[in-house]
Chains A and B, each alone.
Chain A
Amino acid sequence: MANVRSIRTHIKSVESTRKITRSMKMVSAAKLKRTQQAMNALRPYADAAEQMLVRLAAEPAAKENPFLAPREKKHVLYVLLVGNRGLCGVYNTALLKFMEGLAEREERDFSVLVVGRWGRDLIAAMKLPLTETIDKLSDAPSAEESAALTEKLKALYLSGEADEIVFVYERYYSALRQEPERKRLLPIDIPETAEEKEYILEPDGKALLDKLVGLYLDAAVYSLLLEARTGEHTARMTAMTAATDNTEQLLETLRLELNHARQSAITKEITEIVGGANALKDAKEGKRA
């Protein structure tokens, strides 16, 4: 059985681990609240922008808008949204595996743009054709940060460096379920509508589309970023809750072990004293006899 002192040291180290996992859980909970609120606030805006875009899709001007018009997809740009940190279960690793699968199956020319700080070495080891790593995106991204990314992607698309832009991210289904998914940003996919309705367009279709497409893309990128971050914080919170629970269990076992060790040490000591006393007594009696 381990000695008392080594068990005490072990308990101490487990206790400090618990402190860390517990505070990480708390921090994630706070960040989760922020991203989730922003995500919910953005939804009506994003939905309305999409609805308006659907109404405009039938306009002849839609074929001239560079972001809507179909074009030959020679070069694909994958935007990989990893987390900023690890310690969040399989969130990042599952995403990387998914990306690896995509890369293997991709027959066209492609490149990958990474957003997030996690796994720089791991990603580099995968030998993906990386163009850039954006590691400045915060844990609760603001609309401005997102707009900067949108502008960058738009420029890449317009200049012809990318003919298709696909986001690879963890889709947020629920607090317990996030799954890797791919979603095309550009060219914009507009769901077909059956209804044909005449709209008055002010000032004209082209100007309206320019404006609307801008709004739509901003909202689309921002909601993807928020969704990915919400998933990351949720995953980390779950992982850290489990880790905290594990330390509790471990502490319980260790405390039990400590008591056992202490008790047996005492018992041993008593036996030794009694044994010693008896030996002395025996020796005395032997002398007499």
Chain B
Amino acid sequence: MGGRIHLKVITPEGTALEENADYIRIPTPEGSVGILADHAPMLCAVGEGKLKCRSEEGERLIYVSGGVASVENNEVTVLTEEAQIGE
């Protein structure tokens, strides 16, 4: 997938997903946070739920069990104990 935001989902068992996207929605304990390109630097808690990542080619859902995420210079890194990639 193409896109300007570089997304990495990392678990203790390795990198579960690495992809470029235009839009990423992160589930947090207090609701979802949407991220577009050139987002301000941010650190946020990640709750259990579905992480969505969208680009021109389509959409992807990843189940995450919870952790932390950082957003900086169009790099989104999600640390989660478990991740399961959906269709």
Q: A residues near B, CB below 8 A?
A: 38, 41-42, 44-45, 48-49, 51-52, 55-56, 143, 197-203, 207-208, 211-212, 215, 218-219, 222
- Known A143-B12, A212-B68; judge A198-B79 contact (CB<8 A): no
Report whether A208 and B12 are in contact in the complex, using a CB–CB cutoff of 8 Å: no
Q: How far is the CB of A226 from chain B (nearest CB, A)?
A: 10
Residues of A within 8 A of B14 (CB): 41-42, 44-45
In the complex, the 5 A-B pairs of residues with the closest C-beta atoms, listed nearest first: A202-B44, A41-B14, A200-B42, A199-B41, A45-B10
Is the Cβ of A208 less than 8 Å from the Cβ of B68?
yes
Given A202-B33, A203-B30, A211-B68; A45-B79 close (CB under 8 Å) = yes
Q: Which residues of B contact A143 (CB under 8 A)?
A: 12-13
Q: Is the CB of B70 within 8 A of A203?
A: no
Question: Can you list 13 A-B pairs, Cβ within 8 angstroms, ordered by A?
Answer: A41-B13, A44-B10, A49-B79, A52-B79, A55-B70, A199-B43, A200-B43, A201-B43, A202-B28, A202-B33, A207-B45, A211-B67, A218-B12
Q: Say yes or no: B30 contacts A222, CB within 8 Å.
A: no
How far, in angstroms, from A219 to B14 measured CA to CA in the complex? 12
For chain A, what secondary structure do more than half of its interface residues adopt (helix, strand, loop), or is it mixed?
helix
Instruction: Tell me the smallest distance from the CB of A61 to a CB of chain B, in Å.
Output: 12
Contact residues on B (Cβ < 8 Å of other chain), bracket: 20 to 34
A44–B67 Cα distance when bound, in Å, is 15
User: What A residues does B42 contact at CB under 8 A?
Assistant: 199-202
Docked-complex contact B45 and A202, CB < 8 angstroms: yes
Interface centre among B12, B40, B79, B81 (most CB of A within 10 A): B12
Known pairs A48-B77, A52-B43, A52-B79; A215 contacts B67 (CB<8 A): yes
A56 to B42, CA, bound (A): 11
